[in-house]
Structure 1
Amino acid sequence: MAGPGDKNTADGAAVNAMRIMLNLINIDGTIVIGEGEIDEAPMLYIGEKVGTGSGDAVDIAVDPIEGTRMTAMGQANALAVMAVGDKGCFLNAPDMYMEKLIVGPGAKGAIDLNLPLAENLHNVASALNKPLSELTVTVLAKPRHDAVIAELQQLGVRVFAIPDGDVAASILTCMPDSEVDVLYGIGGAPEGVVSAAVIRALDGDMQGRLLARHHVKGDSEENRRIGENELARCKEMGIEAGIVLRLDEMARSDNVVFSATGITKGDLLDGITRKGNMATTETLLIRGKSRTIRRIQSIHYLDRKDRISSCTSCKPFSLRSRAAG
């Protein structure tokens, strides 16, 4: 599905494949962060039950394709991502926008979204013991960030402007061999909660702020209608938009398992390659409790996957056995 130009077809295929495999696992799973409303694509919807219903009760934050447009256009850094944690572990919020500020372990405690961005960057640079000119900040290259990018350039920091894919950039802030120090910008809340899970697992730091659509995309009649619906859903869920959320409010425990599989080749992972009946993937698997990071290369026989997708009597398997260690 990479490269045909139809992001909704790609997203639909990813949602279907992920749902099929989740329903084969011996868990009592609930989707607490899904995807699709902002992109107008099919969803693993908030509140959906997955798994066999037996086994551990877990909450799941998921984005079957982080970077639908990148997948459709064959661009770099598209991922399939999922975080699994104990019941009540993840922030349960509507699919809306979120302002995010993320740093690695070296700058933990140095960020505050209530402060101006420039002050935050000075604090991060101080924590990392480097001048601003050596600080690297990743920002989504969206019109809403034009003023932010101009401010960063004026401050003299190094700016990486990426078209999409802030989950991959979030992870890179915490990887020891990465040159990314900070991620800042406004993206999707589902991606924000998934990012919070992996940042918590890797001992980084993050703050977020839920924003209604008309506060991000412009105050048109349609955007205001959608934004007011988002705010109403926040109220129903007991969440207040516009206030700063700390990392431990978005991911309440480090007892999480995070998985990211590359769809298109990127800075973090290789993409899917296919040769005949075989496909090769690379996955980053992170277990927060032990802070274990694994890179897994897998070969998939596609005819076997087709059998699983149509199987009504396939034997379930245990998540515990896959996530141990």
Structure 2
Amino acid sequence: MPKPSDILDRVLVLEMVRVTEAAAMAAAKLIGRGDEKAADAAAVEAMRRAFDTLQMDGTVVIGEGERDEAPMLFIGEKVGGAPGTGPKIDIALDPLEGTTITAKAGPNALAVLAAAEEGCLLNAPDVYMDKLAVGPGYPDGVIDLDKSVRENVEAVAKAKGVAPDEIIVCVLDRPRHETLIAELRAIGCGIQLIPDGDVAGVIATTDEDTTIDMYMGSGGAPEGVLAAAALRCVGGQFKGRLLFRNDDERGRAAKWGITDLNKQYDLKELAKGDCIFAATGVTDGSLLEGVKSLRRGVITTESVVMRASSGTVRWVKSEHQKD
């Protein structure tokens, strides 16, 4: 039997970038065209084709929805070019994180995926998740979803050695966050509102150049697992709690083996063991440049690929012939 870390060695880390590049380039053809569904469908189809070139026996554990909701890349779908013979890999993916952003030519749209050894990524149902994240360098337990907004901000400020009103928090710009935003304003925090793309928002806490200290608010649970996988590679802390609006969503959780509906998940419970995170920019953003189509018949992409076991972060700039 191979060592656990050997399993992902069989799937070359940089091969995962080829998958996100393919999805990003397909989606980029629809930037600013106002058609979210078409952009998403193009990214999904391109990502699926790219997976089939990899020598692995992959299973989608975070995907575009369940089988009856998504024609491909649904939860439970098998991907990869070596079914039954290749290394067993669990995949979490979002072929186009920021469909609205892409349709409107906004910033921070990404094609993203995470890969881990079998059983190491949470099978999160397609529901909302309450999320709280900080970057590396803070003592363990500095954030906690059971604490108030003020208590979390004050704890991070104390650990950073600044006043609470010097903390900058990234929040999705949604009506559901009106109360959260009001609480942060009362503390005096700076708030970086983003229109979409909370995977990029969480990762921004790890980059000092963004000046973002914390991420707060609710968003999709699948995106929470993807963000947790990224933080596992580069450091940071993440807390997540699934949010259920009705019995149908609770039923989805039961289907995927989730029995404690109030559980607060830590980073390593969402993405444990060795894992890989890869992302390619679709539109320009704080993390990556978007896809560019140059006059000389070349398409350029910028990607990042990270690995938890080594802590390696690679930035990849690629040129692709249009044909």
Residue 306 (structure 2) aligned to one of 276, 283, 286 = 286
Residues 199 and 227 in structure 2, CA contact (< 8 A), matched pair in contact too: yes
Deviations 1:194-251 (A, max 9, x none): 0010111112110101112x3xxxxxxxxxxxx3222101112221333211111101
- Cα separation, 2, equivalents of 1:5 and 1:241: 37
1:131 aligns with 2:163: yes
Residues 138 and 169 in structure 1, CA contact (< 8 A), matched pair in contact too: yes
Match of residue 11 from structure 1: 40
Runs of at least 5 residues in structure 2 that lack an aligned partner in the other structure: 1-29
Aligned 1:101-250 pairs, distance under 5 A: 101-107=132-138, 108-212=140-244, 214=245, 227-239=246-258, 240-250=260-270
Q: CA deviation at 1:178?
A: 3.2
- Cα separation, 2, equivalents of 1:179 and 1:293: 20
Residues 12 and 42 in structure 1, CA contact (< 8 A), matched pair in contact too: no
SS in 2 for 1:151: helix
Deviates more, 1:273-282 or 1:288-297: 273-282
TM value normalised by structure 2: 0.85
- Cα separation, 1, equivalents of 2:132 and 2:98: 19
What code does the residue aligned with 2:62 have? I
RMSD: 1.5
Change (3 A) 1:137 1:41: farther
Q: CA deviation at 1:287?
A: 1.4
Residue 28 (structure 1) aligned to one of 45, 57, 76 = 57
Q: CA deviation at 1:43?
A: 4.8
Q: CA deviation at 1:134?
A: 1.4
SS in 1 for 2:165: helix
1:96 aligns with 2:127: yes
Residue 271 (structure 1) aligned to one of 281, 290, 301 = 290
What code does the residue aligned with 1:290 have? S
Q: CA deviation at 1:179?
A: 1.0
- Cα separation, 1, equivalents of 2:104 and 2:208: 30
- Cα separation, 2, equivalents of 1:43 and 1:103: 33
Q: CA deviation at 1:275?
A: 2.8
- Cα separation, 1, equivalents of 2:145 and 2:180: 14
Match of residue 21 from structure 2: none
SS in 1 for 2:152: helix
Report % sequence identity.
48
- Cα separation, 1, equivalents of 2:238 and 2:232: 8
What code does the residue aligned with 2:277 have? F
Match of residue 90 from structure 2: 59
- Alignment length (residue pairs): 287
Match of residue 297 from structure 1: 317
- Cα separation, 1, equivalents of 2:170 and 2:64: 23
Q: CA deviation at 1:36?
A: 4.9
TM value normalised by structure 1: 0.85
Q: CA deviation at 1:17?
A: 0.3
SS in 1 for 2:96: strand
SS in 2 for 1:105: coil
SS in 1 for 2:210: coil
Deviates more, 1:264-273 or 1:104-113: 104-113
After TM superposition, where is structure 1 displaced by more than 6 Å over at least 4 residues in a row?
none
Residues 65 and 75 in structure 2, CA contact (< 8 A), matched pair in contact too: no
Deviations 1:264-318 (A, max 9, x none): 0011110111135421110011111111111111111232xxxxxxxxxxxxxxx
What code does the residue aligned with 2:114 have? A
Change (3 A) 1:42 1:97: farther
Residues 210 and 286 in structure 2, CA contact (< 8 A), matched pair in contact too: no
Deviates more, 1:277-286 or 1:145-154: 277-286
Q: CA deviation at 1:41?
A: 6.7
SS in 1 for 2:94: strand
Q: CA deviation at 1:176?
A: 4.2
- Cα separation, 2, equivalents of 1:36 and 1:278: 34
SS in 1 for 2:238: strand
